[in-house]
Amino acid sequence: MKLNRAILPESKAETFEEEVDFSNYPFDENHVRRIDNCSVKVVATEYGDVLQCQISGKASVIASCSYTLEDVPMEVKFRDSFYFSDDAEAESEDCYYEAGVEIDLNPYILALILAEVPHTIVKKGAQLPKSGDGYRVMSEEELLKEKSTKKNSAFDILDTIEFDDK
């Protein structure tokens, strides 16, 4: 979604609604795999050298289950305000610098969506695997008990050698 600041009237809010396509964006397979659809509403107000954009919307996201790595569909709603200026000196943590009259809002919208998706998602009914080929899943207590009953290796004596620093 792109906004052209040159067509916005001074100090009057303009509303824009659009379906944003994120199908060509690369995603992290372990967090958000894709965004199927995203509808966005932007209320933009131009205040001379600063543009305020109130962005809200919802998106259908396919995320990854932390246990099974299967797809987990979810609906995400987002809302935030952004301030833009074409003056590089006005840039701060509250106001973003965007050169020119056209502002691409897609990176900001994508950041809002990704911030709403939890990093740990567990699909309903999913459980951690108990064990598999070449590995075992055990609690920390089981691991400590196993280490305490395990015979020492001949090389463990090397850990006790003290070296003189000269």
Mean pLDDT of the chain: 87
| Ramachandran class of 110: left when φ > 0, alpha when ψ lies in -120 to 50, beta otherwise | alpha
DSSP assigned state of 111: H
pTM: 0.73
| pLDDT value of residue 138 | 81
| pLDDT value of residue 106 | 92
| pLDDT value of residue 18 | 92
- Per-residue pLDDT band at 166 (split at 50, 70, 90): low
Residues 6 or more apart whose CB falls under 8 angstroms from that of 121 comprise 63, 64, 65, 66, 72, 74
Average pLDDT on 70-83 reads: 93
- Per-residue pLDDT band at 28 (split at 50, 70, 90): confident
